[in-house]
Amino acid sequence: MPYNGPVIALIHDWLNQLGGAEDVLAALVALYPDAPLYTALYDRARMPDQWREWDIRPGFIDRLPLARRKQQLYFPLYPFAFEQFDLRGYDVVLSNKSGFCHGVITGPETMHVCYCLTPTRYVWRYHQYAERENLGRATRLSLAPFLTFLRQWDRLAADRVDHFIAISDEVRRRIAKVYRREATIIYPPVDVGRFAPSNRVDDYYLFVGRLVPYRRLDVLIEAFNVMGRPLVIAGSGRDRERLEALAGPTVQFLGFVPDADLPDLLARCRAFVWPGEEDFGISPLQANAAGRPVIAYDAGGARETVITGPVDAATGALFAEQSVAAIIEAVESFDPLSVQPAVARRHAEQFDIAVFKRKIDDFVTQKYEAWNSVNSGTSSAAAGRSFSSPR
């Protein structure tokens, strides 16, 4: 059956690295496979081969020197770049935003929904971002004079959005604070089907993720050095050399772990440990999908995804401080057997990709029906239909 719903465009900040934002994007493309994807830049060599089948339309920044490797060099140009896209003819624009892509300009006939991963971090939390991304002195000095302009533009650009969706309550509060807008929470997708509990649990604790300073793996490693318990760290990143120098004999670095090997690694750990603050955090839910409990820092998305309490509901434990003492107390006082694998798995299933797709499509459909009724005669006759193409 041919798809005859509204014409949709997707907007994404840039395509030169893989992370949680790109997991969301992949789910959106699967939901709306006929929608073109507008982005500031696209590094084909660093992105999955199958993405080359997508209708990706990069902007002029994609042609600038070093842009695909050092996108920070052109931060002052991103507002202009996204404003250049011609989005006439689309009924709905859906932006997947952590940077500036919510600043696209649409006409009165187009509804703009922004799936907000966070208000632009390097604009509103600049010092934290500069430390997190290890920006060099030259980059910091070159960006600083533009921050006031970028904040003004970013705040005004938020007014172009008709509806905001937040990935967590933490992000919802930031949207309210920075943009003065209300937002509906729809959690990011977790590919629960990739994972399953195992009947074998080995004697190691596990962290999976990029090795970057803000994740406070230094504190985690020091705590496990003191305890003498086995800790396995899977992932790569610029902080690996420093972290390996801190590690004692019970800490093992695996480096990059292929996707095919990750489910078994998660399913066999005693518990998954998460010492950093994240806007949401998909890896802890992957561990739950594999039937394993999570020990996490009590901040950000972990407050919404790690359930403490009775055995019939608990999925892990939280610790209040990013300190060696707090981590030691949490690990030594927590019994992994107190979390039932089936309970952890059911909890993770609430965040599955299928749930995400349904909630996004229901949200967009309902908002567009209301939009279409108010703007009848200027939009396509699509009210009452789901926007996703038939599968």
pLDDT tens digits along 285-333: 999 999 999 999 999 999 999 999 887 899 999 999 999 999 999 999 9
273 vs 317: CA distance, rounded Å: 10
Same-domain pairing of 98 and 196:
no
Taking each helix axis as running N to C, give the angle between helix 324-333 and helix 217-227, from 0 to 180 degrees, rounded to the nearest 10: 60
Using an 8 Å Cβ cutoff, are 306 and 168 in contact?
no
User: Which pLDDT does position 60 carry in this prediction?
Assistant: 93
Between residues 381 and 318, the one the model is more confident about: 318
The answer on pLDDT for 383 being more than 60 is: no
Selection from 26, 19, 12 nearest residue 282 by Cα:
19
Same domain for 32 and 133? yes
Same-domain check for residues 364 and 316: no
Please write the tens of the pLDDT for every residue from 148-165: 888 899 999 999 999 999
Residue 185's CATH number: 3.40.50
| 78 and 92 inside one domain | yes
- State whether 229 and 327 are in the same domain: yes
Residue 232: which CATH number? 3.40.50.2000
Number of separate domains in the chain: 2
CA dist 314 and 141 (Å) reads 47
Domain co-membership, 309 together with 200: yes
d(CA 294, CA 344): 9
For residue 271, what are the CA distances in angstroms to 103, 128, 197, 276, 387? 41, 29, 13, 16, 40
Q: What is the pLDDT at residue 73?
A: 72
Quick check: is 298 in a domain?
yes
My answer on whether 342 and 358 are in the same domain is no
Range of the domain at 232: 192-349
pTM value is 0.87
Asked if 224 and 277 sit in the same domain, the reply is yes
Residue 70 pLDDT grade (very low, low, confident, very high; cuts 50, 70, 90): confident
Q: Above 50 in pLDDT, residue 366? A: yes
- Of the pLDDT bands very low, low, confident and very high (cuts 50, 70, 90), residue 390 is very low
Tens digit of pLDDT for each residue in 243-284?
999 999 999 999 999 989 999 999 999 999 999 999 999 999
The pLDDT of residue 1 is above 60: no
Residue 83 lies in a domain: yes
Each residue's pLDDT tens digit, 108-150: 999 999 999 999 877 776 655 555 555 566 666 666 677 888 8
- 165-193 pLDDT per residue, tens: 999 999 999 999 999 999 999 999 999 99
Average pLDDT score over the chain: 90
Q: Is the pLDDT of residue 31 over 80?
A: yes
Q: Identify whether residues 224 and 309 lie together within a single domain.
A: yes
